[in-house]
A and B are shown apart, each in its own frame.
Chain A
Amino acid sequence: GAGVSQSPRYKVTKRGQDVALRCDPISGHVSLYWYRQALGQGPEFLTYFNYEAQQDKSGLPNDRFSAERPEGSISTLTIQRTEQRDSAMYRCASSPRDSFSYEQYFGPGTRLTVT
């Protein structure tokens, strides 16, 4: 079946603008995760949803970052007043989180460049 999809795949924005990154999880997956990956590093946890509830947002760097998943499916990660240090690959993952599997499957990512 279809995997995790993310859009846009590439986003170039000017410093100070707001951006919204979208994630569409694998159909039926109840859990959704956002990570950020710097070049040469592993992904770093940002936030996690179980259905529509945001269960953990401890990894969000500051209050310019927010995420929502209003209907328990598609999620949006919003960065307000972007700064150059926000430039990175933003990755979304989803998981069925049944009692047998906590495996997370990643989407292709959104490459954000703040100029």
Chain B
Amino acid sequence: QKEVEQNSGPLSVPEGAIASLNCTYSDRVSQSFFWYRQYSGKSPELIMSIYSNGDKEDGRFTAQLNKASQYVSLLIRDSQPSDSATYLCAVTRDDYKLSFGAGTTVTVRA
């Protein structure tokens, strides 16, 4: 079992819709959780961090964490063509060694 698993994608959503991305992790001791956005040919860009159970909202992005079920999700509301990218889920138990999923590619159709 991989340490961090994400929807294989690709995920295609119409402009203005909600994109929902899921991530599960295997290490129960994981403490910190991050979502990165990576445009094609570019470096990962941190868009959300979440450390405690519940929801965290930042603009059009909402991260949801459920440690008991070992999943973290990212919702992108009012999706825009500029949101088209690969989204990487990252998890760490020790606050330095990030374990990444393979990413979910999102395409927003205009």
Contacts and interface: CB of A to CB of B under 8 A. Distances in A.
Interface of A: 31, 33, 35, 40-45, 48, 55-56, 58-59, 91, 95, 97, 101-109
Interface of B: 4, 32, 34, 36, 42-46, 49, 88, 90, 92, 95-103
A47 to B, nearest CB: 10
A50 B95 CA distance: 12
Contacts, number: 58
Given A102-B32, A103-B49, A107-B43, A56 B97 contact: yes
Contacts of B4: 42
12 contacts: A40-B102, A40-B103, A41-B102, A42-B88, A42-B103, A43-B98, A97-B96, A102-B49, A103-B46, A103-B49, A107-B43, A108-B43
